[in-house]
Each structure stands twice: as structure tokens, then as C-alpha cells.
């Protein structure tokens, strides 16, 4: 318990530093976000001035950041986009989409990745192992947008197995294909990690002992080998949940899922500081919580790590 509280306290300086860094980076982007709003058309000085003042863009960086933070903590106001939409409303709208997508991808990584890894590990050197190794190498080598567009055209459009894009069908149907695409890279990694770990542990003394004791193979594998093999995999999966949320930009674009990845991409282009900071802070919090969960899970999997 104290351990968990400590970890949460550590998050405070991380939070402050991240938000400031992100704010400063958006601020440092070249170009003038207000002038860019009108595109090629002229924007009168009076309009430009009003907009600058409204978004505090006429203030120095530190004042802008201060005003933003004051808004967040004193009024619970996360700011607004250049089109006047409150950032809080926007995050509320979009966060669910990304969370559902990341979760789908994550479950896919977990189930299929660990499954393939165990299969390959137990049948080391045989056909199944070779296939898994070759397949995962292939997936790691191909960029995600190639996988994405190909899957969309072949599985979605030509074969009609999945919806091509959008969230009309809701969870899980609309999220299956994008989830598999997003999770494909992590899946390959998880499968290889699990395989290596299983192979190593199968040679460990305690497994030989367990076998020598005459335990059934299923028990030796399920109880002793797997449990120990999963520790590095859990670490990876924990951290990867954050990665999946952050890495959804491309997948959300291809499958037209209105999540936070799409939003942050657009907002960086428009230089909407409050949106970028809001989204990124949320992601940082998810990373912190995911890491915390991983550390707690360690204790469950490995009693040696659990503290007194």
C-alpha cells in the first residue's frame, strides 16, 4: 500500500515537467497558428488581435503556461481548441475510442502473442516454431500503414469480413480489425519474448526437478514454466498498453476512428497547445498507472519480489 502511494507521489513532478515541456515544444513550433486559420485569405488586424488575446498567444511562454495551469487547477478548465470546443469535452468524446482500440489490440497481443510464444517454445526447432519465427519477423519488418491499408482492402473491402472503417458497429466489431493491425507489432514481440523465456525456463533446474518428481507435463508447463516465463512478458505488456494508446495515430487515421491519436496529430499541426498538453498528460498518467500495475502484478507472479 505504502509502495503504491509512493509511486503515485512520484507522478507529481513527472506531471509538472511533462506538461511544461510539451507546452514549450508546441509554443516553439514555427509559424503563426492564428494566421494559419484563415489559410490563403486575408485576416484583418483587428480579428488577429482579438484571437491572439483570447488564446493568450500575445503573452510570454511562462505566463501562457501559468494561465493554463491556473485554469486547470482553479477552474477545472482544460482550455479550448481554436474552433472553440472545450478540450475537456473533446477528450471525453475521443478517449473512449482510443481506449477501446488499445484494449482490443492489447487483448489480441496477450492472447495470441502468448499463445504462439508458448507453442513455439514448447516445440522448439519444429515446424510450428519455424512458422512463428518467420511470421513474426515478417510482421515486425512491415510498416504499420502497409499492414493497415492491406488488411482494410483485403479483409474489409474484398472479403467483407470486417467493417472497412468507422465506429458504426460499436465495440467490439468495429474495433477488431484496427485492433489486430495496431497489436500486430506488439504481438510479434510478445510471441518472441514468450518463446525465448519458455525455452530458457524449460532448461531450468526447478523444471527438471518438477519433472523428476513425476508431475504431469501439463502441470510442469502450466504451473512452473509458464508462470516464471511470463514475468518479462508482463513487463512488456504493461508498458505497451501506454504505447498502444499513444501509437494509435496511424491506425486511427486509416480506420477513421475518432480517437485521441487523430486529435493530437491535427492539434500539433494547428499548434493548439492546450489540446496537445491535455492529451499528452493523459497519456503520461496512463503510462504511470500501467507501470504501477505491472509492478504490483510482479508480486502476484513472483513472490520473491513481493515486499514484506
Partner 1 sequence: MTVVSNARGAAVLLAAALALSACGGSGGSGGSGGGDQGPKRFSVALTEPDHLTPGNTSSSYSITVLQAVFDTLVVIGPDGSPQMRAAESVTSQDQKTWTIKIKPGQKFHNGEEVTAQSFADAWNAAAYGPNAWTNNYYFANVEGYDKLNPEAEGATPGTDKLSGLKVVDPATLEVTLTAPFSQFPITLAYTGFAPMPKAAFTDLKAYDQKPIGNGPFALDGEWQHNRQIALKRFDGYAGPRPAKADGVLFRIYASRDTAYTDLRAGKVDLLQTIPPASAPEAKRLLGDRFVPTASGTMDYLGFPVFDKRFQSADLRKAVSMAIDRQAIVDAVFNGAFKPMGSLVAPLVPGYREGACGEACTYDPAKAKALYDKSGGFSGTLNLYFSNADPSYEQWMTAVANQLKQNLGIADIRFRKIPASDYLSTLREKKEDGPYRNNWVMDYPSPQNYLESMWGAGNRMGWENKEFTDLIAQANAAPSMEASIPLYQRAEDVALAEMPMIPLWNWQDQAGYSSNVTGVRIDAYSPNLDTISVK
- The CB-of-297 to partner 1 minimum distance in angstroms stands at 6
Nearer to partner 1, 31 or 66 (CB): 31
Q: Which of residues 110-139 bind partner 1 (CB under 8 A)?
A: none
Among residues 3, 17, 85, 131, the one that binds partner 1 under rule CB under 8 A: 85
- 249: DSSP letter: H
Our finding on whether 38 is near partner 1 (CB under 8 A) is yes
Phi, psi of 304 (to 5 degrees): -65, -30
* Residue from 128, 148, 152 nearest 139 by CA: 148
Our finding on whether 84 is near partner 1 (CB under 8 A) is yes
- The CB-of-124 to partner 1 minimum distance in angstroms stands at 27
Nearer to partner 1, 133 or 289 (CB): 289
Q: How many CB atoms lie within 10 A of CB 83?
A: 9
For 16, 40, 54, 156, 205, the CA distances from 21, given in Å and listed in that order, are 9, 31, 22, 40, 49
- The CB-of-84 to partner 1 minimum distance in angstroms stands at 7
Whether residue 172 has a cis bond before it, omega within 30° of 0: yes
Q: How many CB atoms lie within 10 A of CB 227?
A: 14
**Contacts with partner 1, 166-185, as mask; x by CB under 8 A:** xxxxxx--x-----------
d(CA 191, CA 115): 7
Among residues 5, 28, 42, 141, the one that binds partner 1 under rule CB under 8 A: 42
Alpha helices, H only, the chain: 2-28, 33-37, 45-54, 61-74, 87-108, 114-122, 127-141, 144-151, 173-202, 205-212, 217-219, 226-246, 249-254, 260-270, 273-301
- The CB-of-101 to partner 1 minimum distance in angstroms stands at 9
- The CB-of-174 to partner 1 minimum distance in angstroms stands at 7
Among residues 45, 74, 125, 304, the one that binds partner 1 under rule CB under 8 A: 45
Our finding on whether 83 is near partner 1 (CB under 8 A) is yes
Residues found near partner 1 in the complex (CB under 8 A): 29-33, 35-47, 49-51, 54, 82-85, 90, 93-97, 99-100, 103, 107, 149, 152-153, 156-157, 160, 163-171, 174, 252-256, 258, 262-263, 266, 269-271, 293, 296-297, 299-301
Amino acid at each position: 500500500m505504502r509502495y503504491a502511494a509512493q509511486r503515485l507521489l512520484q507522478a507529481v513532478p513527472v506531471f509538472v515537467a511533462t506538461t511544461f515541456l510539451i507546452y514549450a515544444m508546441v509554443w516553439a513550433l514555427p509559424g503563426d497558428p492564428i494566421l494559419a486559420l484563415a489559410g490563403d485569405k486575408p485576416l484583418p488586424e483587428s480579428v488577429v488581435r482579438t484571437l491572439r488575446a483570447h488564446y493568450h498567444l500575445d503573452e510570454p511562454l511562462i505566463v501562457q503556461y501559468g494561465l493554463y495551469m491556473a485554469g486547470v487547477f482553479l477552474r477545472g478548465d482544460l482550455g479550448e481548441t481554436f474552433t472553440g470546443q472545450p478540450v475537456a469535452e473533446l477528450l471525453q468524446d475521443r478517449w473512449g475510442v482510443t481506449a477501446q482500440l488499445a484494449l482490443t489490440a492489447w487483448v489480441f497481443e496477450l492472447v495470441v502473442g502468448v499463445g504462439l510464444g508458448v507453442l513455439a517454445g514448447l516445440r522448439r526447432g519444429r515446424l510450428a516454431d519455424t512458422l512463428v519465427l518467420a511470421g513474426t519477423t515478417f510482421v515486425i519488418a512491415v510498416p504499420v500503414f502497409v499492414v493497415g491499408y492491406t488488411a482494410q482492402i483485403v479483409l474489409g473491402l474484398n472479403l467483407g469480413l470486417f467493417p472497412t472503417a468507422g465506429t458504426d458497429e460499436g465495440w467490439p466489431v468495429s474495433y477488431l480489425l484496427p485492433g489486430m493491425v495496431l497489436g500486430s507489432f506488439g504481438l510479434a514481440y510478445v510471441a518472441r519474448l514468450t518463446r525465448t523465456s519458455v525455452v530458457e525456463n524449460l532448461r531450468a533446474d526447478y523444471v527438471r526437478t518438477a519433472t523428476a518428481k513425476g508431475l504431469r507435463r501439463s502441470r510442469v508447463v502450466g504451473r512452473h514454466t509458464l508462470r516464471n516465463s511470463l514475468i518479462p512478458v508482463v513487463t512488456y505488456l504493461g508498458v505497451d498498453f501506454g504505447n498502444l494508446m499513444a501509437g494509435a495515430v496511424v491506425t486511427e487515421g486509416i480506420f477513421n476512428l475518432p480517437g485521441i491519436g487523430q486529435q493530437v496529430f491535427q492539434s500539433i499541426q494547428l499548434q493548439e497547445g492546450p489540446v496537445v498538453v491535455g492529451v499528452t498528460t493523459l497519456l503520461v498518467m496512463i503510462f504511470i498507472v500501467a507501470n504501477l500495475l505491472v509492478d504490483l502484478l510482479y508480486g502476484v507472479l513472483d513472490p520473491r519480489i513481493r515486499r514484506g
